[in-house]
Amino acid sequence: MNLADLNKIARAMVAPGKGILAADESSGTIKKRFDAIGVESTEDNRRDYREMLFRSKEAMTNYVSGVILYDETIWQKAKDGTPLVKLIEAAGAIPGIKVDEGTQALPGCPGELITVGLDRLAERLKKYYEQGARFAKWRAVIDVGNGIPSRTAIQTNAHALARYAALCQAAQIVPIVEPEVLMDGDHDIARCYEVTEAVLNETFQQLFIQRVALEGMVLKPNMAIAGKKSARKSSVAEVAEQTVKLLKACVPSAVPGIAFLSGGQSDEEATAHLDAMHRIGGLPWGLTFSYGRALQAAPQKAWAGKAENVAAGQQAFTHRARMNSLASKGEWKAELEKKAA
């Protein structure tokens, strides 16, 4: 393992003003999103849609540091025969790959899940590296509810994340470590903080045991935020304060950067929260975004599967990427959203 190279890539992934586009939706997820805009989820339509994003020159060059791809996409070629990976590289962004294989029920823990995909991961990483991937992603899902998460769910998922991260670094690939505490429940921000703290502490403990070099990874956590069904919504300032406090308590400063998931927040909420954290300042690591839906909902709607809407789709994508870029420097203002609309 060449740690200096891994560190260089990890730092580039969280470079000031740039963030990561999560374009790694599984076939099932992208089908749901395409259904919502009335587009059939065929291989060609998925390719055309992602090609539209990767050819958005302004967004990709100025605001996007890397792109997380799905297995189908990393092997695909654009309409003109150019590999999609090459389009990403040509824009100066780094190609990455989602390597987990989804979740299964966790035995003995009703309502809880374990992420799978460690079998033969070393072989897959080798092939992805040859195809141009320089970072990877693995998502652990921790639900909050009555009596959950259990210690079992937290420990087994943290252990799998650490095993994955160690295999990535051995393959000269930067691991994005993503332990996501879901915001689907009715829990308040204090409960989210408590669960996320336990999850992050266990994750770093496991990373230490598996000898993962913290300088060669990126953390992709949830924010400290109330569940969607909570009676008490958290203000932007509260989410920012609690999240910064939580990360400072749990994340070693050796980690080059943190790239948040949006986790079901609206486009603007995800942007406002990131901006407010930067305004608090004094952060020991790069802090940016790794958004999927919060970057893509607007371009999907504008594109709607029509070739004549490609420019409109690219414009919507560029706007969202720019807003998040500003937020990742603490320079975003709500009025900029109205202006574009």
Instruction: Give me the residues paired with residue 138 across strands.
Output: 177
Record the tokens describing residue 271, joined without a space: 């942007």
pLDDT over 90, % of the chain: 95
pLDDT of residue 340: 63
Once rounded to an integer, what is the mean pLDDT over residues 31-42? 96
* pLDDT tier at 267, thresholds 50, 70, 90: confident
Query: Measured between alpha carbons, how far is 8 from 200 in angstroms, rounded to an integer?
Result: 24
pLDDT of residue 35: 96
Once rounded to an integer, what is the mean pLDDT over residues 1-14? 97
Q: Which residues are catalytic?
A: 178, 220
Total domain count for the chain? Answer: 1
Could you tell me which of 193, 192, 194, 185 has the C-alpha nearest to residue 145?
185
Could you tell me which of 320, 156, 182, 163 has the C-alpha nearest to residue 261?
182
Q: Residue 322: is its pLDDT beyond 60?
A: yes
Domain that holds residue 336: 3-340
Beta-strand runs (E) in the chain: 19-23, 64-69, 94-98, 103-105, 113-115, 135-142, 174-181, 218-219, 257-260, 286-291
* pLDDT tier at 110, thresholds 50, 70, 90: very high
What is the rounded average pLDDT for all residues in the chain?
A: 96
pLDDT of residue 174: 98
Q: Is 264 left (phi over 0), alpha (psi -120 to 50) or beta?
A: left
Record the tokens describing residue 303, joined without a space: 């594109």
pTM of the model: 0.96
Beta-strand runs (E) in 33-127: 64-69, 94-98, 103-105, 113-115
For 26-40, 111-125, 192-206, 326-340, which range has the lowest pLDDT when averaged over its residues? 326-340
243-to-24, 62, 221 alpha-carbon distances in Å? 25, 27, 10
Return the CATH number at 94: 3.20.20.70
